[in-house]
Structure 1
Amino acid sequence: MLSRFLFLLSMGVVIQAGDQCKIGSKKIMYCFEPSRMACFPILTVECSHEATERYETLRECQRRRLPMDFNMCAANTPAIKRENGESHCFHEGMPKFEANKCPEGSFCNFGFRVGVCCDKKIEDEYNEEAHADCPDGKKAIRTPGDEFDRPVFGKECSHNFCPTDTSCQQGKYLAWCCK
């Protein structure tokens, strides 16, 4: 457990747009946010080619910063523990399923071979926000993906990640662009 904690601490960085400069170009890049264990877009100002912890694509940021088998609750909120202090869980039908059921008000967010008990209310709030509508009949803008289009989500509107002809909508967990 301590080695996992030290691993997560070693990944910590602060998202910064960069220093303003005369020759710098503004560009949307993806930065890793350790408190959320997620990559978010941010409008950056590039003054040199030495900028670190910024990635051209969401996929590149995720590939370089997130462990392949990492499993977490929505917005990286803490897992719900059973009375014995453990929070792992298994699919129904697996050995030890009954002994590792999630407490009431939580559910098993299943990952690679094992899951983690997550707060159902927070998960529902997060999912509702991830599918939220825009005001005044506007639509959330989407970006093409490998298999389907996905909404453009950021962490905060102050990161200026939305295109200029759109508006940013701030939620509790996410921000999204409307047009």
Structure 2
Amino acid sequence: MSSLCIFAMLLAVSLANLKDFPGNSDCDKSQKKLMYIYEERLNDCFAVRVNACDEKATARYYSLAQCIHKIAAVPRCAAGSLPRAHSDGDASCDSNDLEARRCPKGSVCKGNICCDANTETDYLMEKYITACDPGVKASRENGQILFSRNCSIDFCPEGAQCTMGRHFAFCCPPF
């Protein structure tokens, strides 16, 4: 067999396998899936829709539950606020021991640090009791309210409108 024939066969095999390399797959970029990304500064998980071809999808979590494990590992106060310290400057507490050091007045124990109670409540109220218009609840997927950091992130279901709250963006169903 001539070297030209061998070269042609190798080239044909190489071209046939080229579609398996990243960026060359037959991905359907129009198909999007909901994933969650962990934001370290806010110590929270936010929804994002990505296509199967998105290289960054590997740095995201497939479910909110998977992402929440990351939150539990590193306790931080809501909305990036600083911990509330005792008079000696220590902000630690123990939420599992009633006899242990408690937080200063106006703060709550979150994991093992003291955080401002009003900020924690405000953050959670917006996150979990979000309404679009009076009597209309925000869009949900898999039982969870869809929220993300801001409206520039693609995370709402098709037809839903993104609305920016004080801390989060959330999706309102079409009316």
Fold conserved between structures, TM > 0.5: yes
SS at match of 2:152: helix
Identity %: 32
Structure showing greater Rg:
2
**TM-score (normalizing by structure 1):** 0.66
Q: How does 1:85-124 map to 2 (within 5 A)?
A: 85-91=89-95, 94-95=98-99, 97=100, 100-109=101-110, 111=111, 115-124=112-121
Name the CA distance, whole Å, in 2 between partners of 1:50 and 1:124.
33
Cα deviation, 1:49-80, whole Å, max 9, x if unaligned, reads: 575312322223344xx165433322342211
Amino acid at match of 1:126: Y
Aligned counterpart, 1:12:
none
Runs of 4+ in 1 over 6 A off after TM superposition: none
Does residue 29 of the first structure (1) align with residue 29 of the second (2)? no
Does residue 125 of the first structure (1) align with residue 122 of the second (2)? yes
Name the CA distance, whole Å, in 1 between partners of 2:167 and 2:77.
12
Aligned-residue Cα RMSD (Å) equals 2.8
SS at match of 1:42: strand
Cα deviation, 1:116-155, whole Å, max 9, x if unaligned, reads: 21111211211221212112643212233xxxx3211211
Shift of 1:165: 1.8
158 and 26 in structure 1: CA distance in 2 versus 1, 3 angstrom threshold: farther
Name the CA distance, whole Å, in 2 between partners of 1:156 and 1:122.
19
Amino acid at match of 1:72: R
Gaps of at least 5 residues in structure 1 are 1-21
Amino acid at match of 2:106: G
Name the CA distance, whole Å, in 2 between partners of 1:92 and 1:59.
22
Check whether the contact 2:50–2:57 (CA below 8 A) recurs between aligned residues: no
Check whether the contact 1:155–1:175 (CA below 8 A) recurs between aligned residues: yes
Q: How does 1:36-55 map to 2 (within 5 A)?
A: 36-47=42-53, 51-55=57-61
Check whether the contact 1:72–1:116 (CA below 8 A) recurs between aligned residues: yes
**TM-score (normalizing by structure 2):** 0.67
Question: Greater helix share, 1 or 2?
Answer: 2
Check whether the contact 2:84–2:91 (CA below 8 A) recurs between aligned residues: yes
Name the CA distance, whole Å, in 1 between partners of 2:126 and 2:118.
12
Check whether the contact 1:24–1:47 (CA below 8 A) recurs between aligned residues: yes
Name the CA distance, whole Å, in 1 between partners of 2:51 and 2:62.
13
Aligned counterpart, 1:143:
141
Check whether the contact 2:37–2:67 (CA below 8 A) recurs between aligned residues: yes
How many residues in Structure 1 have an aligned counterpart in Structure 2?
145
